Chains A and B, each alone.
Chain A
Amino acid sequence: GESVGLHLPTLSVQEGDNSIINCAYSNSASDYFIWYKQESGKGPQFIIDIRSNMDKRQGQRVTVLLNKTVKHLSLQIAATQPGDSAVYFCAEGEANSKLTFGKGITLSVRP
């Protein structure tokens, strides 16, 4: 699989490969982190979340890793499928406060 930081807006992967999408967050006080997937013309769809007292959480085909030391969040997608093609956003928040979204990365899956 490939990895990309937020300064590279597009990630292209081969169908079946693993994808890694990275995100650097800015607020050291953030204690809640979420990954959203947004398809064209639709609202953001929740993928997976993680709280600051954890460093890894797994879902179905997805894993989120949190490194609070360097304020880095990543989303790993196993066996990427064409239906995974979308824009992915990381978001961070504090208790009783707003979510702040990153700029987003486009994931393009090659058949």
Chain B
Amino acid sequence: GAGVSQSPRYKVAKRGQDVALRCDPISGHVSLFWYQQALGQGPEFLTYFQNEAQLDKSGLPSDRFFAERPEGSVSTLKIQRTQQEDSAVYLCASSSRGIGGNTIYFGEGSWLTVV
């Protein structure tokens, strides 16, 4: 595709509900990143994939957060039993190589509000 595509763009979830956020990276991009951005803050790293391999998940805040990229293309970030502090923008990014390689492009984000 022309850019990184994320869906849904906006999601309101009731506390305790499970949510799934989808990311379609730029076609052919090997690396995929998930970031969390709270209001007024910079993006915070969650996890990183190279193809289907999850190479770094050190930023996932709890075991309620789970990410997958089974075929090395589309990725899903799942949040179980959502809590109010999970409210944030979830950004997906991709690049044709890893960090220090090619440019990292971001999607427009999925805005999650937990009520």
A binding-site residues for B, Cβ under 8 Å: 31-32, 34, 36, 41-46, 49, 51, 89, 91, 93-104
Report the number of A-B residue pairs with Cβ-Cβ less than 8 Å.
Answer: 63
Complex formed: what's the CA distance from A41 to B94 in Å? 19
Binding site for A on B (CB under 8 A): 4, 33, 35, 41-45, 48, 55-56, 58-59, 91, 98-101, 103-109
Q: Are A95 and B45 in contact (CB under 8 A)?
A: no
Give the residues in chain B near A101, CB-CB below 8 Å.
35, 42-44
Residues of chain A lying within 8 A (CB to CB) of residue B42? 89, 91, 101-104
Q: Cβ of B43: which chain A residues have Cβ within 8 Å of it?
A: 44, 89, 101
Contacts of A89 in B (CB 8 A): 42-43
CA distance A15 to B106 in the complex (A): 28
Most chain A CB within 10 A, of B56, B98, B99, B105, is at B99
In the complex, are the beta carbons of A49 and B99 less than 8 A apart? no
Contact of A44 (CB < 8 Å), options: B55, B100, B101, B106: B106
Residue among A31, A36, A98 with the highest chain B CB neighbour number at 10 A: A98
Q: In the docked arrangement, what's the CA distance between A34 and B101, Å?
A: 12
Tell me if A98 and B41 are in contact (CB < 8 A): no
- Residues of B close to A103: CB separation below 8 A: 41-42
Task: Choose among B41, B99, B104 the residue that contacts A46 (Cβ–Cβ < 8 A).
Answer: B104
Asked if A43 and B108 make an inter-chain contact with CB atoms under 8 angstroms apart, the answer reads yes
* B-side contacts of A96, CB under 8 Å: 55, 98-100
The contact of A32 among B59, B99, B105, B108, by CB within 8 Å, is B99
